[in-house]
Amino acid sequence: MIQNTARPRGRPRSFDERDALEKATQVFWSKGYDGVTIDDLVAGMGVGRPSLYAVFGDKRAIFLRVLRAYAERKGASAAKALLSPQSLRDSIADFLRYAVESATQKRSARGCLMVCVAPLVNDAEVQRFLQSTVAGGAALVERRFRDGISAGDIPPDFPVATRAIQVTDLARGLTMRAQIGTPRRTLLKEAEEAAELVLLPRRRASK
């Protein structure tokens, strides 16, 4: 019962669709969007040109699929870091540390597809997708802050929405500096300092 869908009729494909998309991610990551040619994708994905067009479409379509798959993976990891059972402070610090770690792991592909590559793509659909992803990230952090209020880790008047946006902005700042070569160790330290910053209680209304 391992193949409930009968094998299709003609010659079988010589590539795996998911695997090819994964490889395409690396290609876009290391060369940017405009810098990638179809030949780069053909070489990097291990898919012949005609098959590539037939199965995936043109460069823009491939990039959109890559971006969606990437966002899903990254979002899941971020959610895991954020929502696993631990102190609020560790959650936020993990979230920021994860951003740094994933942005510094490969020398040939620093940064983040969604932070460093996609914003430059001049395409309405890509832009819409980014907006919703950015909003989704902030919403996730905000939820964690609210749980923190329930647990008594932060005061009930903690500005959850504002601080959530600030967390994601700080993450983007760290990611961008990862891209231009700031070393991981430095950024990890700063990630912890950022977590400390956003957990500071609001200033008491004085004067």
- Which x/- pattern over 16-45 shows residues binding a copy of itself (rule: CB under 8 A)? ---------------xxxxx----------
User: How is residue 69 written in tokens?
Assistant: 């798959």
Please, what is the minimum distance in Å from the beta carbon of residue 63 to DNA?
Answer: 11
Q: 25: buried, middle or exposed (CB in 10 Å: 19+, 13-18, 0-12)?
A: buried
* Residue among 1, 2, 5, 8 that touches DNA (CB under 7 A): 8
Residue 64: strand, helix, or coil: helix
Is the separation of the CB atoms in 147 and 71 below 8 Å?
A: no
End-to-end CA, the chain: 73
Residue 3 near DNA by CB under 7 A: no
User: How is residue 122 written in tokens?
Assistant: 């001049």
Residue 37 — φ and ψ, nearest 5°? -105, 165
Residue 58 near DNA by CB under 7 A: yes
146 binds, among a copy of itself, DNA, none (CB under 5 to 8 A by kind): none
d(CA 183, CA 118): 23
d(CA 101, CA 174): 10
* Residue among 1, 2, 4, 9 that touches DNA (CB under 7 A): 9
Q: What is the DSSP letter of 67?
A: H
117 binds, among a copy of itself, DNA, none (CB under 5 to 8 A by kind): a copy of itself
Residue 62, number of CB atoms within 10 A of its CB: 24
Residue 48 near DNA by CB under 7 A: yes
Residue 119 near a copy of itself by CB under 8 A: yes
Residue 51 near a copy of itself by CB under 8 A: no
Positions in 175-194 near a copy of itself (CB under 8 A): 176-177, 179-182, 190, 193-194
111 binds, among a copy of itself, DNA, none (CB under 5 to 8 A by kind): a copy of itself
Number of residues that bind a copy of itself (CB under 8 A): 44
User: How is residue 11 written in tokens?
Assistant: 């010659």
Contacting positions for a copy of itself (CB under 8 A): 31-35, 111, 115-117, 119-120, 122, 127, 130-131, 134, 159, 162-163, 165-166, 168-174, 176-177, 179-182, 190, 193-194, 196-198, 200-203
